[in-house]
Chain A
Amino acid sequence: MKVFRRIWAFVNRSRVLSEIEEELRGHLEMRASDNLDDGMSPEQATRDARLRFGNPAAMKEQVQAVDFALGIESILADLRYALRGCLRNPGITIVAVLTLALGIGVNTTFFAAFDGIALKPLPVKDPQHLVRFEQWLQSGATGDPQFFVSWPEYLFYRAHTHALSDVIAASRLISVVGVPDGATPEGSTQQNTIPLQGQVVSDNYFPGLAGSAAAGRYFLPEENQPASAPAMVLSYPFWQRQFQGDSAAIGKTLKVNGQAFTIVGVAPREFIGSGAPPLVPDFWAPAATQAYLEPGHAWLEQPKDAEVQVLARLDPARLNSTRSEAQAEMLLLAQQWGQSQQQTDKTIAITLNRATFFGETNALWFRGVVASLMAVIGLILLIACANLTNMLMARGTMRRHEIAVRRALGATRKRLLRQLLTESLVLGLLGGACGLLVSYWASHLLQVILQQMVQSLAVLGGAAFSINLTPDLRVFAYTLFLSLLTGVLFGMVPALQFSKSDGTSALKVEGATAGQQTSRSRLRNFLVAAQFAVSLFLLISAGLLLQGLRRSLSVDPGFETRRVFFVGLNTGPRLSIERQRQIMDELRAMPVVASVAASIKPPGTGTFGRQAIIEGDHGAEVNVQGGALGDIVSPDYFQTMQVPIVRGRIFTRDEAERGAGVAVVSASTARQFWPGQDPLGKRFKLDLKINNTWEEFEVVGVAKDVRNANLTRIDPVYFYVPEPPDQFAGSTLLIRVKGDPASSARDVVNALNLSDPKLQPDLVSLEDGHMRLQRLLSQMLGVFAGLLACLAVPLAGVGIYGVVAYLVSQRTREIGIRMALGATRGGVLRLILRQSMSPVAIGAGIGFVFSIAASSALHAILVLPGVPDVLFGVSFLDPEVFVGLSLFLAAVALTASYIPARRAMRVDPMAALRYE
């Protein structure tokens, strides 16, 4: 293609220039040597060659000018022409640009979110070279454990690496109780404690990551030593919140779990910590102070406790510091470390990831979710493209005359094609520019919503969540790419079609005969059918999700959620087994407390997924697919949560302490594995410690079905296992209160505070905690679905309207003839509707089948017990949704074609015929 040659010549300027120079020089030399052969003196020969040639520099410039004139100028001319065309048809231009703005805007917003989550580097010093350790564990554990190693392991890597510099460690956020310096502002008598989130970091954390401090300084070398006075650096938001940004805060002390820390500085405003997840702590403290933050759990010397996340810098100044080489070195070091240590779970390899806001963005599930969401959102853009193609086809037909004239005047097909494509690209770019505005606004909104949502979640401890969705270069590039792609996508077919038209027949007025039109109308029918199919698919998906949303608001988990409060005991100081029992007894003695129980996790926090083998008939063993759900609970769990036992009994405290292998299972478990049999006395095995040591249990009771792991569905398989005799069951206390839940909870908090001030209890009801989180997720899906539907329906309507309106305008004359020959208005209406609705019917069929297939595929993964059911038990083939929405969309299509069809009905036969 000429265009590519020109672009190539334009891009490779310097090379082209040097070639021209060489060519000109060669010419002069050849002429001079011929002159020599003719008997001239050397000077004469050169002079003559120069004279004949003219000025080489001027020639060179002329050659370049040719480039410019041919390549760039004609493109500019096309652009000017395209823009003039846009202005000439403002109606079409506005509709096209708005349609594209919506389609591109939605896609760009999604990409901006993806960019913020997975691609954007952390706002730290020199982020290009910063990497985050992700380890691969022997147990195959994925997710959070992959990002944490023990402190000794970190020190080992730091001491032995040659490829990496600035090997930095940061702990998880640690919940502590803070008491600020001096009297409380109002001078009240009550001690002013505040819950805080702290993070302990290695000595090189701030020098390696942050710019200069907003106030004060960072840790001195001696402050990183164990024996020194504890110091802390505040985060900017906490400094603003607590000290109103007053620099007098520097030098004050703040008590953390009773230990005084001196505030030495404030991190810069833009510094949000080291991410993964991007929760900003209230303060940072040197690793040496770790024991103060987590009394009773000092892990600095413990190679078994994976507590710190590691970041490091690929040092461009060092040799062998490419990522792959550093990774190879880390693999070796990880193996050496594994051999020297008795770890619970060995690191077998280490991947060095770019340091982004979140850690898990390489995981397969994340990619799957992103890809499927992108596909769905891409469909909206596709519908928009189909609309525009139709519109351009209609407009192109009106422009046949113009095109034919240009053809007759000597424009080649390529030239016309380029012209037409330039026009659609201009539309695409205009749409993209507006789409960028749409997405700028939408991602700002999204950011605000996300931040408020996270901050409202009590389970996250109220830590500030920091994510940056402002568009960066990548987002701009993506939008540009989308704009060009859509421009080509919707412009290609019309451009090909219309540049093909041969001049003579089109030059005649109204040259369009029926035969010529068939291929074009077939294409239009195809587009209408495809558009309707995609819209129906989006609408049905949205309908199903919205049904799910409706249920999520009213769904009853099957246990008490408003009166049961939970206290996580693994945040804050660790307690001994005896002390925990004592606290439980103290609570039981309170008049406002109805019942107290312990479990590993509060219900609604997902699964505890263990391998399980069920003993079936005649000693046959069945593996539970996807692992079993369950919890380790104290015997009073059922009474506390108000989960009734429908058969058999609860295990006793005595049995639990004896370590008798007895358990309670859910009714659904019994139904699934022992249908029609008495579940009592049946046996199963669990790999409780995830190390292939199987523990046997006998079923002594059956509990009513509840939604424990997931609010979205009845747990398909659920085991309640007694606490092992040697240790306290769980790290969660579940407390059911009497009377007014809020005031009773306050009483409980006060009692706990009296009993142990270090406990820093934060009482949240199950309803306000994880239940809300789960409902929130389905509400988010519902809102997303609603948005999809809001976009899909009008796009489909506008598309069908456009096509039918065009059809009618084309056939005005024919309709006139028909009516002159005696066709009734009703007949004409039926004719138009039949023609416009037949592709709709085909599209409906395809969309219907496609939706059923997609929905069934989604349904298939529910076989795994831990997978949430986004529809909350709504049938995946809900006839109400499928049939109802199909009819609804068909009605939209009918209305969209009825409006122009009515116009056809009103055609005045005489006027239509007179035109001929």
Chain B
Amino acid sequence: MARNDLQGTLDLLVLKTLAQVPELHGYGIVLHIQRASRDILQVEEGSLYPALHRMELSGWLSSEWVASEGKRRARFYKLTAAGRKQLDATEQSWEQLMVGVQAMRSFA
């Protein structure tokens, strides 16, 4: 059964982003999702952070403060091994969901 649903979508997007670009800060993740989805997916920027925090506490992500351009420092996120596993699981269940929804739509 496909677990979760749409709530898991944000997790999938974030995990996938970090699988594609190894280290990013929150703002970078927003930009990447926007760019990679060809501007179709617009993440509500604020809601990203609770998700990041939750994923970090679950051990899927690790983070580190790095001095970015100028005097600012930013928290950069990285996938952990557990995060990679979680990504696989989430992708699978997402695919099942898609298949299921497709089947529903084409049911005559």
Contacts and interface: CB of A to CB of B under 8 A. Distances in A.
Nearest to A49: B45
A19 B45 contact: no
B53 A52 contact: no
A255 interface: no
A59 B49 contact: yes
Nearest to A52: B45
A618 interface: no
Interface hub of A5, A58, A59, A67 (most chain B Cβ within 10 A): A59
Contact of A62 (B27, B50, B58): B50
Given A26-B72, A31-B27, A20 B45 contact: no
Interface residues of A, number: 28
A20 B48 CA distance: 12
Interface in B22-43: 25-27, 30
B27 A67 contact: no
B77 to A, nearest CB: 10
A645 B77 CA distance: 94
Contacts of A70: 54, 57-58
A182 interface: no
Given A2-B57, A9-B57, A26 B46 contact: no
A6 B45 contact: no
Given A23-B75, A26-B25, A27-B26, A59 B59 contact: no
B50 A63 contact: yes
Nearest to A70: B57
A66 interface: yes
Interface residues of B, number: 20
B45 A31 contact: yes
A56 B44 CA distance: 12
A637 B55 CA distance: 89
A54 B42 CA distance: 13
Contacts of B59: 2, 5
B7 interface: no
B97 interface: no
Contacts of A56: 46
A71 B45 CA distance: 25
Contacts of B46: 24, 53-56, 58-59
Q: What is the predominant secondary structure among interface residues of chain A facing chain B?
A: helix
Given A30-B27, A71-B57, A23 B49 contact: yes
Given A56-B46, A58-B46, A62-B47, A20 B72 contact: no
A20 B72 CA distance: 14
B45 A63 contact: no
Contact of A20 (B47, B53, B58, B74): B53
From A19, A22, A27, residue with most partner B Cβ within 10 Å:
A27
A54 B57 contact: no
Contacts of B25: 23, 26-27, 30
Interface string A44-58: 000000001111101
Interface centre among B25, B49, B73, B74 (most CB of A within 10 A): B49
A59 B26 CA distance: 13
Interface string A88-131: 00000000000000000000000000000000000000000000
A29 interface: yes
Interface of B: 25-27, 30, 44-47, 49-50, 53-54, 57-59, 65, 72-75
Given A58-B46, A59-B50, 5 more contacts: A23-B74, A29-B72, A59-B46, A59-B49, A66-B57
Interface of A: 2, 5-6, 9, 19-20, 22-24, 26-27, 29-31, 52-56, 58-59, 62-63, 65-67, 70-71
